[in-house]
């Protein structure tokens, strides 16, 4: 598949209503649609964004919404419109993105006869059946019935993004291709955490707002921006980890959750990354894996990737904390560092106050 389409309209997330879209009269629409037997479903999906030209539907490219609409159409026998909570660029992944779709269930034997809505579990199984017939990089993970005035985008209260960085000189694993940003240099975790303290909170994020952003204001409240080191994926426990895990299962923790212990220390990861010591034929030296977490009600266009770009340069030592303050206060995109690539970005969660 070719990814030669333009993606300038794709957003990491945007909670601002575009000026061309007017909000409908929800009360009248609810009454009308309820009488017509229409049910709105809130649908959570996961996907690998590598072979999608973003989430929003495009005429000549494979997109998340386009693939989802096709699967729904095959399921119910008529065209539907899928509305997504958060737009993602080409190459960006989602652990959980959310959309909504309105479905009127009609009888195939008696055309025009409206039937009771499908149960959410039926919708999930059926749509996944048609999705898996084509490709396996998009899956419905949850479905719920919601009122017709509940909107996947405008009802969202909070969004969380994760960004994965692999640090170290070793070539990136084939299993990590297009799943993380490989940074050959060592990254200073403590310096990156200090930079997060400058950026978190309510600011004018004009320096972290790409051209083409449709938001009316650059002011955003970043509720969380943090960096932590995690076990590199894919995780297959070594002998020591397996022994510890078995001890937990056989020991005094049988009534509590069993947690697989992390590697003994970050120092051991550093040594494994840079050492020339022979670790045995056919065994790969692991990278350090750092995860940036960004959480807010809404984000500007490319804001998360621009934030990560600055954090990475701080981690390599090419920017200082005063430099980060200068970039933030400059309020111009030209002051920021190069944007992080899409392949390491994951939409992790969209939070709602769901009706009972």
Which pLDDT score, from 0 to 100, does residue 276 have?
57
pLDDT score of 292 more than 80: yes
Position 44 scores a pLDDT of 98
What was the pLDDT predicted at 258?
Answer: 38
**Residue 227, pLDDT above cutoff 50:** yes
Task: Give the per-residue pLDDT at 236.
Answer: 66
pLDDT score of 251:
59
Q: Are 180 and 343 in contact (CB under 8 A)?
A: yes
Range scoring the smallest mean pLDDT among 43-52, 189-198, 239-248? 239-248
Ranges 25-29, 48-52, 86-90: which has the least confidence: 25-29
Minimum mean pLDDT range among 89-98, 112-121, 306-315 = 112-121
The pLDDT of residue 284 is above 80: yes
In degrees and rounded to multiples of 5, residue 347 shows phi and psi of -75, 115
Which residue, 333, 329, 331, 326, is CA-closest to 305? 333
User: Which residues of the chain form CATH 3.30.70.660?
Assistant: 157-233+287-351
Whether the CB-CB separation of 332 and 155 falls below 8 Å is answered with no
Greater model confidence, 338 or 11: 338
- Work out the pLDDT band at 133, boundaries 50, 70, 90: confident
Write down the pLDDT at residue 250: 66
Residue 323 has what pLDDT?
Answer: 97
* CATH architecture, range 38-156: 2-Layer Sandwich (3.30)
Query: Would you place residue 122 in the very low, low, confident or very high pLDDT band (cuts 50, 70, 90)?
Result: very high
Q: What is the pLDDT of residue 111?
A: 80
Sole residue written with tokens 């794709």: 10
Write out pLDDT tens, residues 153-207: 999 999 999 999 999 999 999 999 999 999 999 999 999 999 999 999 999 999 9
Mean pLDDT value of segment 223-238:
82
- The pLDDT of residue 6 is 42
Q: What is the DSSP string of 264-279?
A: S-HHHHHHHHH--S--
Single out the residue of 293, 288, 317, 322 nearest to residue 307, CA to CA. Answer: 293
Q: What are phi and psi of 240, to 5 degrees?
A: -65, -45
- Give yes or no for residue 259 having a pLDDT over 80: no
294-352: pLDDT as tens digits: 999 999 999 999 999 999 999 999 999 999 999 999 999 999 999 999 999 999 999 99
Bridge pairing between strands 181-183 and 158-167: parallel
% of the chain with per-residue pLDDT over 70: 79
Annotated catalytic residue, options 25, 89, 178, 204:
89
Catalytic, 89? Answer yes
Mean pLDDT of the chain: 84
Report which of residues 101 and 256 the model is more confident about: 101
CATH no. of 157-233+287-351: 3.30.70.660
- Residue 297 confidence (pLDDT): 96
Q: Of 89-103, 220-234, 238-252, which range is least confident?
A: 238-252
Buried b (16+ CB within 10 A) or exposed e, 254-282: eeeeeeeeebeeeeebeebbeeeeeeeee
Say whether pLDDT at 38 is over 90.
yes
Residues of the chain with CATH 3.30.70.580: 38-156
Q: Which residues of 71-96 are buried (b: 16+ CB within 10 A; e: fewer)?
A: bbeebbeeebebebbbbbbbbbbbbb
3 state DSSP class of 310: helix
Quick check: pTM over 0.85? no
């Amino acid at each position: 598949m070719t990814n030669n389409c333009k993606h300038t309209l794709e957003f990491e997330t945007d909670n601002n209503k575009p000026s061309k879209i007017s909000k409908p009269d929800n009360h009248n629409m609810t009454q009308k649609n309820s009488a017509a037997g229409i049910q709105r479903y809130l649908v959570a999906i996961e996907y690998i964004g590598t072979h999608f030209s973003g989430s929003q539907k495009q005429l000549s490219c494979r997109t998340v919404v386009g693939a989802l609409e096709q699967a729904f159409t095959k399921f119910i026998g008529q065209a539907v419109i899928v509305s997504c909570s958060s737009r993602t660029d080409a190459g960006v992944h989602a652990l959980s993105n959310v959309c909504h779709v309105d479905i009127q269930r009609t009888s195939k034997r008696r055309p025009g006869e409206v039937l009771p809505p499908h149960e959410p579990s039926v919708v999930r199984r059926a749509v996944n059946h048609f999705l898996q017939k084509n490709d396996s990089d998009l899956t419905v993970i949850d479905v719920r019935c919601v009122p017709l005035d509940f909107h996947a985008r405008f009802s969202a209260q909070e969004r969380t993004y994760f960004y994965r960085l692999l640090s170290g000189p070793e070539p990136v694993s084939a299993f990590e291709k297009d799943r993380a940003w490989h940074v050959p240099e060592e990254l200073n975790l403590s310096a990156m955490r200090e930079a997060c303290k400058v950026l978190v909170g309510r600011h004018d994020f004009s320096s972290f707002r790409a051209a083409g952003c449709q938001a009316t204001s650059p002011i955003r409240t970043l509720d969380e921006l943090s960096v932590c080191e995690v076990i590199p994926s894919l995780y297959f426990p070594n002998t020591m980890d397996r022994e510890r895990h078995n001890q937990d299962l056989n020991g005094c923790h049988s009534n509590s959750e069993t947690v697989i212990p992390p590697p003994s220390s970050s120092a051991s990861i550093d040594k494994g990354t840079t050492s020339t010591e022979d670790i045995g034929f056919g065994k790969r030296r692991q990278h350090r894996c750092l995860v940036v977490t960004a959480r807010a009600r809404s984000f500007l266009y490319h804001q998360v990737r621009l934030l990560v770009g600055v954090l990475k340069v701080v981690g390599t030592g090419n920017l200082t904390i005063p430099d980060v303050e200068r970039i933030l206060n400059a309020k111009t995109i030209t002051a920021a560092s190069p944007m992080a690539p899409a392949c390491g970005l994951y939409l992790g969660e969209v939070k709602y106050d769901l009706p009972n």
